[in-house]
Structure 1
Amino acid sequence: MSNLEFKFGSEDNPKGHAIIYFEEFEEIFASYVINFPIKGELSKYIPEMFKDQIPDEEMTKMVFPPVPEKFNGNLDSLIKITQSRADDLIYGGSINSNDTTSAMSKLNALANEYSKLCTDNMRFLAVNMTADPYTGFITRIQPAWLLRE
């Protein structure tokens, strides 16, 4: 089990895209995380003169904005947006918005954990799902939560 606090969605079946939000007094700060189902090597798309500035590792997720930004609304409106888009919603705790390094670090730790959860879930589903030979529809052998125990 992860340490992620899902407010909408489920760690047993992460969607691969989530809003991670934080609180600072009465204000909400948020960022969006996308876990890519297909890995990509970003350096292939960067001009040669900038390649030294790009990490060699494969790009598996994107976090935007990289530092949580103030959300213009309350928690109820954030939940409604999340539900209408079918995103996961993850509570990240409290932050000090003036300490951007700490806020970015906290966000990246949660984004990495979410990305790992999504990747592990995709691997699990790839092994434990089958396609009906007649219709081609994908069906689970058993619910994921039964097989993981």
Structure 2
Amino acid sequence: MDLTFERGSMDAPKGHALVYFRSSQDFDDCWATYIIVLPILVDVAKYVPPFLMNQMGEIGPKDLSSFAFPPAPEPVDGYSYVEELASAREDDIVFGGTVNPDDVSSTMMRVNEAIGWYAQAYSDSRQIPGEPEAAETSEALPGYGVSEVLYDLMSDGDKLGELTKLVGRLRDAVESGDDGLTAETQSEIDVLGRRLPDNHQIDHLVQAAKVAGETGAKLANLYLQRCFHLLGEEYVKLGQVEEDIQALEAGGTS
């Protein structure tokens, strides 16, 4: 994803930016959202009434370190409006490329990528020269807020479909030796996995997918099959798959 500063600097982001996109259907149309990187970490759980805690899940102080609103870009009155607004508010302006406004899921993902990119640039600019990077920098910039929204809206079947795509991407990253993509994809699988039942054993699936070679491919496929059989309550097939997994993990053949 190509993102460029048109106001402000990559070396010194302000922490708040108007991110605009051009429509792939009409390049003159502008669509925009607003990104904020919070200067202070907030433990949201402290402000949630007790009766809502179960619905909120485990939200830590780093889960809202950066976000965009609206979550998908909305139409604005041209680029001149973006310039005037940014000038009045002293915002950065970032160009995010072209999008299809009718594909809301895709535009939300593009915004999510922009959040991670801008938040990382902000974090890098605050790093004191000569000091080692904080060990938890990557954790402080979740970059998956929009993904979480999308996953929460998915049915269990759709979640497994998305999981299958992510596992395929993880396998490609492992086989190509791309450590960065491996870590990134594993993190997104972790986000999705938290929205699936514990008995799906997503952690075992990830470990299997990270095994290079044919064995890893077979194990990952078996663990995926296991998830689908659990969802479909196909317990006879589930038992067979679990036997195949045990045999393969023990060094046998399936």
Coarse TM-score class (shorter-chain normalised)? 0.7 to 0.9
1:23 aligns with 2:11: no
Q: Corresponding residue for 2:74?
A: 69
Considering fraction of residues, name the structure with more helix. Answer: 2
Q: Corresponding residue for 2:59?
A: 56
Q: Any runs of at least 4 consecutive aligned residues in structure 1 with deviations exceeding 3 A, and if so which? A: 52-55
For 2:37 and 2:22, locate their aligned partners in 1 and report how far apart those are by CA, in whole Å.
Answer: 23
For 2:4 and 2:121, locate their aligned partners in 1 and report how far apart those are by CA, in whole Å.
Answer: 13
Greater mean deviation of Cα atoms: 24-33 or 116-125 = 116-125
For 2:55 and 2:21, locate their aligned partners in 1 and report how far apart those are by CA, in whole Å.
Answer: 30
Q: Corresponding residue for 2:178?
A: none
1:18 CA drift (Å) = 0.2
Higher relative contact order (CA 8 A, sep 6+): 1
For 1:65 and 1:49, locate their aligned partners in 2 and report how far apart those are by CA, in whole Å.
Answer: 27
Listed as ranges, the gaps of 5+ residues in structure 1 are 128-149
Q: Corresponding residue for 1:35?
A: 37
1:119 CA drift (Å) = 1.8
1:40 CA drift (Å) = 1.1
1:118 aligns with 2:122: yes
For 2:121 and 2:21, locate their aligned partners in 1 and report how far apart those are by CA, in whole Å.
Answer: 20
Question: What secondary structure is seen at the aligned counterpart in 1 of 2:121?
Answer: helix
1:94 aligns with 2:98: yes
TM-align CA RMSD: 2.0
1:61 CA drift (Å) = 1.5
Percent of matched pairs sharing the same residue:
31
For 2:35 and 2:82, locate their aligned partners in 1 and report how far apart those are by CA, in whole Å.
Answer: 15
Q: Corresponding residue for 2:197?
A: none
Q: Corresponding residue for 1:13?
A: 12
Give TM-score, length-normalised by structure 2: 0.45
Question: What secondary structure is seen at the aligned counterpart in 1 of 2:41?
Answer: strand
Considering fraction of residues, name the structure with more strand. Answer: 1
Aligned residues: 124
Question: What secondary structure is seen at the aligned counterpart in 2 of 1:108?
Answer: helix
- Go from structure 1 to structure 2 and tell me whether the alpha carbon gap of 1:52 and 1:123 turns closer, same or farther (over 3 Å shift): farther
Question: What secondary structure is seen at the aligned counterpart in 2 of 1:39?
Answer: coil
Question: What secondary structure is seen at the aligned counterpart in 2 of 1:14?
Answer: coil
Larger radius of gyration: 2
1:90 CA drift (Å) = 0.3
Q: Corresponding residue for 2:161?
A: none
Give CA deviations for 1:74-128 in whole Å, capped at 9, x if unaligned. Answer: 1122112212211000001111111111100000111111011112222338x6x
